[in-house]
Structure 1
Amino acid sequence: MDLAELEIFRTVAREESVTRAAKALDRVQSNVTTRVKQLEEELGVALFLRDSKRMTLTPQGQRFLGYAERLLALAEEARQSMRADEPTGRLRVGTMESSAAARLPRPLARYHGKWPQVQIEIQTGTTQALVDAVLAHRVDCAVVAHPGEGAPDTLDMDELGPGLEGTYLFSEELLLVLPPSHPPVRTPQDLTLRSLATFSRGCTYRLCAQAWLGSGEGPRPALNMLELASYHAILACVTAGSAVAIVPRSLLALHPDAAALQTVPVRTAHTFLVRRQGFATAACQAFLRELQHE
C-alpha cells in the first residue's frame, strides 16, 4: 500500500461514494474503484459494504481508517518538518462553535495574510469530540474549553484526554441567559424554567451549566436537556421563553437581538489550544502565535 491509496480510501470513507470521492480527488471514477479494490486485495478483507446508493465501512474498514488517518497525518507532519522554518502544507484546526464565531476570525485572517500557501481546514464540535479528533489524528490542533476551575496553569490536560499538551489562550465569562419575562435569578433555586438549551454531550459549557444548576441548597428538579446544533437556535429558544442557556459573553455580544435577555454571571472557563504531545509543525506554531496575539 502507498499513501495515495490511503488518501483514496479515506476520501471514499468520508464521502461514502466513489463518484464524490473521485470529484474531490480530481481522479476518474475507474481509478478510484481500482485502487480501493487493490487495497482490499492486499489486506485480504472487504473495507466497504456496497449498495446502489452509498459505500459504508465494514468493521474492518472502520478499524483500518484509524490507521490510515494516523499514517497520513504522520506523513504530512514529516513533510512539514523538512521545512521547519516556514509554515507550509495543510493545517487542520478544530474549534468550538463559540470560538469559531467570536475568537478566530481575526487570527485566521492574519494567518492567511502571512502564510497563504498553508491550506487551513476548520472543523467545529464539542470539546470532547474535538479532543477525540486530535487523538485520532483527524485534526492537528483544537481550540477547546477546560472544565476545571482555578488558574489556567494549574489545570491538567489529562482531564481532557491522555497524551495531550495545551497552551492557554483566553478565558470566557459564562453567563446564564434567561427570557426577558423570567423572574430575577440569583441562585439556581430561583429558576422557574427547567429546560436547558445546549449542545450535545461532550460540551464543556454544558458541564458547567449542569454543575451550576445543580448547586445550592434546596430541591433540584430534573433538568430537561434541549440539544441543539447552533447558538442561533439556542438563543432563539431562550428568546421564545422555552429554555435557559449558558453561553460565553463574547458570543452573546455578537447577537444584538440578545440585548433584551436577562443574564447572570456563572463562572469563568479557560480555553486552550491542544495538540498531541510532540506535535509542533511550523504551520501549527504560527497559528498558535496568531491566537496568542489576540
Structure 2
Amino acid sequence: MDLSDLHIFRTVARTGGIIRAAEHLHRVPSNITTRIKTLEADLGAELFLREGRRLRLSAAGKILLDYADRLLSLADEARASVQDGPPHGMLRLGSMESTAAARLPGPLSRFHQACPEVTLELHTGDPRLLVERVLTAELDAALVAEPVADPRLATLTAFEEELIVVAMAGHPPMTSARDAAMKTLLAFHQGCPHRKRLESWFAGSGIVPDRVVELGSYHAILGCTIAGMGVALMPRSVLNTYTERARLSVHELSARLRKSRTLLVWRKDTPQANVMAFADILRGKKT
C-alpha cells in the first residue's frame, strides 16, 4: 500500500465524497476516483458504499481507516524523527474561538518570530471536534478547555481563565442564577464547555432556563447581552478585548465554577518539532 493512497482514502472518508476530497487535496476528481479504485483492487475489498454522489465507508473501509490513521501518524513521526535543524513545514493548530481571539495573538507572534520556516494553519471550532481531529491526525495540536481525559493525548496547561457571567448594564448583582432578571442563556453550541458551566450554574440554583439562544460568535453573544436578551458566561480575557464592555454588567461565579484551564493537546505517539516549539512558546521559553 502506498502512503499517498492511504492519505487520499482517509480524506475521501472524512469529507464523504470524491469532489470534496479533490477540492481539499487540490486534485482533479478523476484522479481521486482512480486512486481509490486502485487501492480497492490491491486490497481485494470494496472500501466504500456508493449512495449517489456520496460515499459511505463499508465494513472493510472502517477497518482500513483505523489502520490508515495509525500508519500515517507513524510516517509523520518517522519523518520528524530523522529531520534535523529548526522547526519547519506546517503546523495545523486548532483552537476554541475565545482562545483564538483573546489569548493567541501574542504567542502566535512570538512563534512566527522564533520559527519563520513554519507555516501555521489555525482552525477554530467545537472543542470536542478539535480533539477528534487531533486524534485522527487532521490537526497537529489544539487548544481546548479542560477536562481532557483521552490517554492517547499529551497535555500542557496553556492558559488559566477566570470565567464570569455578563448581563446588560444596570442589572442587579447576581450571587446565583435565581437573581438573573432574564432566564435566557446566550451561548454557543451544546459542545461548548463554557455553556456547560453556565448550565451548571443555573442547575446549582435549581433553575431551569427559559430557553437557550445559540449564537456563532462572542461579538454576537455580547451584542445580544447588551440588548437585554439574556445572560452569558465567558472568560474575562474575552470581555477585556471588547470595546463596548461599559454597556455590560459583570457578575462573579463561585470559586468552584470560576476557574478554567485551557490545555494544549497533541498525540503522545506523534511528537513533532513544530508542536514542541509552540509548546515552548506557551511555557515562556525561547526556541
TM-score range, shorter chain: 0.7 to 0.9
Q: What SS class does the counterpart of residue 228 from structure 2 fall into? A: coil
AA at the equivalent of 1:243 = G
Which runs of no fewer than 5 residues in structure 2 stay unpaired? none
Q: Which residue of 2 is the match for residue 78 of structure 1?
A: 78
Q: Which residue of 1 is the match for residue 196 of structure 2?
A: 207
Choose from 184, 187, 212 the match for 1:198: 187
Which runs of no fewer than 5 residues in structure 1 stay unpaired? 148-156
Separation of aligned partners in 1, 2:282 and 2:211: 36
AA at the equivalent of 1:47 = F
Q: What SS class does the counterpart of residue 229 from structure 1 fall into? A: coil
Separation of aligned partners in 2, 1:163 and 1:292: 22
**Count, aligned residues:** 279
- Superposed counterparts of 1:121-140, under 5 Å: 121-140=121-140
TM-score normalized by structure 1? 0.83
AA at the equivalent of 1:268 = K
Choose from 210, 232, 257 the match for 1:245: 232
CA contact (8 A) 1:93 1:120 kept: yes
Does residue 45 in structure 1 map to residue 32 in structure 2? no
Separation of aligned partners in 2, 1:67 and 1:195: 46
Distance 1:24 1:209, change over 3 A: closer
Q: Which residue of 1 is the match for residue 56 of structure 2?
A: 57
Does residue 258 in structure 1 map to residue 245 in structure 2? yes
Deviation at 1:72, TM superposition (A): 2.1
CA contact (8 A) 2:225 2:232 kept: yes
AA at the equivalent of 1:141 = A
| Stretch of structure 1 that moved more, 272-281 or 241-250 | 272-281
Q: What SS class does the counterpart of residue 190 from structure 2 fall into? A: coil
Distance 1:270 1:25, change over 3 A: closer
Deviation at 1:271, TM superposition (A): 1.6
| Root mean square deviation of aligned Cα | 2.6
Q: Which residue of 2 is the match for residue 165 of structure 1?
A: 154
Deviation at 1:69, TM superposition (A): 3.2
Q: What SS class does the counterpart of residue 261 from structure 2 fall into? A: strand
Distance 1:13 1:105, change over 3 A: farther
Q: What SS class does the counterpart of residue 281 from structure 2 fall into? A: helix
Q: Which residue of 2 is the match for residue 110 of structure 1?
A: 110
CA contact (8 A) 2:13 2:57 kept: no
Q: Which residue of 2 is the match for residue 187 of structure 1?
A: 176
| Stretch of structure 1 that moved more, 204-213 or 265-274 | 204-213
Q: Which residue of 2 is the match for residue 273 of structure 1?
A: 264
Q: What SS class does the counterpart of residue 270 from structure 1 fall into? A: strand
Q: Which residue of 1 is the match for residue 98 of structure 2?
A: 98
Separation of aligned partners in 1, 2:84 and 2:184: 50
Deviation at 1:193, TM superposition (A): 1.4
- Superposed counterparts of 1:31-42, under 5 Å: 31-42=31-42
Separation of aligned partners in 1, 2:23 and 2:146: 39
Separation of aligned partners in 1, 2:217 and 2:165: 17
Separation of aligned partners in 1, 2:156 and 2:239: 25
Deviation at 1:140, TM superposition (A): 2.2
Q: What SS class does the counterpart of residue 221 from structure 1 fall into? A: coil
Deviation at 1:250, TM superposition (A): 1.0
Choose from 270, 273, 284 the match for 1:282: 273
Separation of aligned partners in 1, 2:93 and 2:131: 11
Separation of aligned partners in 2, 1:265 and 1:167: 27
Distance 1:144 1:23, change over 3 A: closer
Provide, for residues 141-188 of structure 1, a one-character-per-residue CA deviation record: whole Å limited to 9, x for no partner: 2112225xxxxxxxxx53xx2332211122111110112253332222
% same residue: 42
Deviation at 1:235, TM superposition (A): 1.7
CA contact (8 A) 2:92 2:140 kept: yes
Q: What SS class does the counterpart of residue 244 from structure 2 fall into? A: helix
CA contact (8 A) 1:126 1:199 kept: no
